[in-house]
Structure 1
């Protein structure tokens, strides 16, 4: 299986997502600083929180609309609106005019666009891929995301302050290209029978659609397990980062000295670099393990690594366990996402993807709760709590793995038929 064997929709989206995320990573991670400068730290925090909740709400609408009216229509509307939002942000941060209020409003519009297009984009990738292609597809996507975020974040640290107008100009151009590609090169992958419904009927149908999703026990358990496992990843910049900053003494490692904050930065860099390198080879590594075994064991090593990071102050052990958990991560992500792609029925893929998209926000919530607990509990007890969270997610995956395989086989049969 090779990149050139993919459907053209997949090729276009993978390349476009890399470019958009690369440029976006130079800007959006630093927008909290921008808002804090213009509105103050407290107001900035509230504004970012509002942005998150608006995105979550729109995510459900995006999933419903993509199932009801087709993926391409929703994506084209969202990408066109995103281009206009970025163009406005560029104008509002130009040498001739500046408005932080309008810039934040356009950030909110961008969150709305992500919520609308995200489920449609994910569902389209599933529509036009076969089960054997998906692990490679998701591996490439994960590799590209990590590379774009890593390189874009580094460049953004140098360019954001003095070249914000130029960055928004680049982002606007990328958004225009994306909208053009969606309009003229992306094929529609889902053509539902459009019903003429009144607004109230749409509301009832939306509620009925998500009731169906919530009643899918396997998908709900799969999402819960995914939230618990993903929350491990956010511990590094939340509880673990705070603990290292407070507890870890400055230590010598090879030719350098590291304090807690520097150690956290180095661990993040180690993780990103290893993901980018290992993802180039992970799909080519031959092994006899079944997908369910890979999923469970990778989650176990991922959890064990973060459990050690939550307690140890030994630089050598921290760097070693980061390597261990990163290996678990690169094996877990493609398998987990290929299972996710096999669970939804064909007529409700976007709605399922919208619900599954909550994993990020809920994982951040779990990580935030551990920060509060860390102010009360000892490091040892917190390490036990964090490890237990990951092990519960691993156990859920282990319990539902036979059902996941059965659902995957059903999806393959449907596609073959």
Structure 2
């Protein structure tokens, strides 16, 4: 499905989200390192488990309101909250206020995402969902090529300027949504009157029904375990690389070596991760387009699990580039399939709710994944990497079980 044929809603969001993510990758990968430096590894590891709880609440709230208020108002709500939190982050005088702002940014993003995903599902035919989601992933990762390398300098030396720029870009995007994006909530779902207390009562009842859906529950549990290895790129890996990988030469030119510090090495690895996404997400989506979703999920867990485990075996920078290819492809192959699976599985009248509940695998994964940073104070690196690999194996077992159940129940009940 060519971009020129897309609905204008999708074009506006593709540009807006792409610009914001370019800035996002300049600060987000260094958040754990920043809080570890300010407060210590143990405290930072515990603190990084809290934002996902707020993100989980935001996802449930965003999903509930998406099916009642519509996609556009919820997207505006999430974008405005993120803008305000970036302003707070920029003017913050202490790491604790930075932490509160970071939580608020995550909450705003969690409210925004179910409405954003539901809008795509509203506008795109089922057979084109993988390709469209892959295009959004490509745009979101263009910034991941240069972002981390620049962020290694900008976040630690020009943090306020970077955060003000993030706030400005989000403000412009908010204005674009307000004036250029139209509502896509199906008419069959619209409610004539909306009472907020009734909305919460009905939506919590609706989520109770969703989590009694055994297929969906196993899908969430499998996703949580699969994402723990993938999420270490922003959590344990920066701590490991900066503390255990020595400064070394990337290459030598005319007898002069280009020496990279540990922080710079991590920035280059992240940039390489983003470059792989930009170059290969669309081709990979096409290559695996005819693969069964079950096999794609299993392959993803294997590559992400072993790729992350292999990081601990050697500190040579070119070896680290190689294993980055492995765990990046593990993340890459699952992204479009995850979104297309739940878009097809969710019933139209509860699409926002399912999208919101689907994001729980990310928020709960983010709650559990920082425990690797916490454990790093007592457990040696190979012990941490072994735990990460164990989660990958558990996810494979759950995905096998999921698709046995899915063959018997291909659609959500009721």
Q: In structure 2, what is the equivalent of residue 275 of structure 1?
A: 277
1:235 matched to 2:232? The reply is: yes
Cα shift at 1:129: 1.3
Which stretch of the first structure deviates more once superposed, 163-172 or 333-342? Answer: 163-172
Compute the TM-score of the two structures, normalised by the length of structure 1. 0.78
Match for residue 222 of structure 1 among 201, 219, 224: 219
In structure 2, do the counterparts of structure 1 residues 403 and 123 end up closer, same or farther at CA, with 3 Å as the change threshold? farther
Cα shift at 1:16: 0.9
1:288-303 → structure 2 map (5 Å cutoff): 289-303=291-305
Q: Does the aligned pair in 2 maintain the 1:310–1:382 contact within 8 Å?
A: no
1: CA distance, partners of 2:354 / 2:289: 31
Q: In structure 2, what is the equivalent of residue 414 of structure 1?
A: none
Largest Rg, 1 or 2: 1
Q: Does the aligned pair in 2 maintain the 1:62–1:120 contact within 8 Å?
A: yes
Compute the TM-score of the two structures, normalised by the length of structure 2. 0.79
2: CA distance, partners of 1:187 / 1:299: 38
Aligned residues: 403
1:388-399 → structure 2 map (5 Å cutoff): 388-399=390-401
| Structure 2 unaligned residues grouped into runs of 5+ | none
Cα shift at 1:235: 3.2
Q: Does the aligned pair in 2 maintain the 1:305–1:325 contact within 8 Å?
A: yes
1: CA distance, partners of 2:272 / 2:74: 38
In structure 2, do the counterparts of structure 1 residues 275 and 406 end up closer, same or farther at CA, with 3 Å as the change threshold? farther
| Structure 1 unaligned residues grouped into runs of 5+ | 412-417
Q: In structure 2, what is the equivalent of residue 201 of structure 1?
A: 198
Cα shift at 1:133: 1.5
2: CA distance, partners of 1:163 / 1:241: 20
Q: Point out which structure has higher relative CO (alpha carbons under 8 A, 6+ apart).
A: 2
1:41 matched to 2:36? The reply is: no
Q: In structure 2, what is the equivalent of residue 7 of structure 1?
A: 7
1:310-349 → structure 2 map (5 Å cutoff): 310-312=312-314, 318-349=320-351
In structure 2, do the counterparts of structure 1 residues 207 and 134 end up closer, same or farther at CA, with 3 Å as the change threshold? same
SS at match of 2:190: coil
* Cα displacement string for residues 150-208 of structure 1 (whole angstroms, at most 9, x for unaligned residues): 42343344445665565455434423332232223212111433264655433421320
* Cα displacement string for residues 232-275 of structure 1 (whole angstroms, at most 9, x for unaligned residues): 12334555555566666788886567897776555434323222
**CA RMSD after TM alignment:** 4.0
Q: Does the aligned pair in 2 maintain the 1:267–1:319 contact within 8 Å?
A: yes
Q: In structure 2, what is the equivalent of residue 415 of structure 1?
A: none
SS at match of 1:194: coil
Cα shift at 1:356: 2.1
Q: Does the aligned pair in 2 maintain the 1:311–1:383 contact within 8 Å?
A: no
SS at match of 2:346: coil
Q: Does the aligned pair in 2 maintain the 1:222–1:397 contact within 8 Å?
A: yes
SS at match of 1:69: coil
Q: Does the aligned pair in 2 maintain the 1:343–1:407 contact within 8 Å?
A: no
In structure 2, do the counterparts of structure 1 residues 111 and 391 end up closer, same or farther at CA, with 3 Å as the change threshold? closer
* Cα displacement string for residues 112-169 of structure 1 (whole angstroms, at most 9, x for unaligned residues): 4323222111211111112222111221222222222342343344445665565455
SS at match of 1:279: helix
* Cα displacement string for residues 331-365 of structure 1 (whole angstroms, at most 9, x for unaligned residues): 22222221122222212222222222233332233
2: CA distance, partners of 1:155 / 1:182: 28
Q: In structure 2, what is the equivalent of residue 179 of structure 1?
A: 174
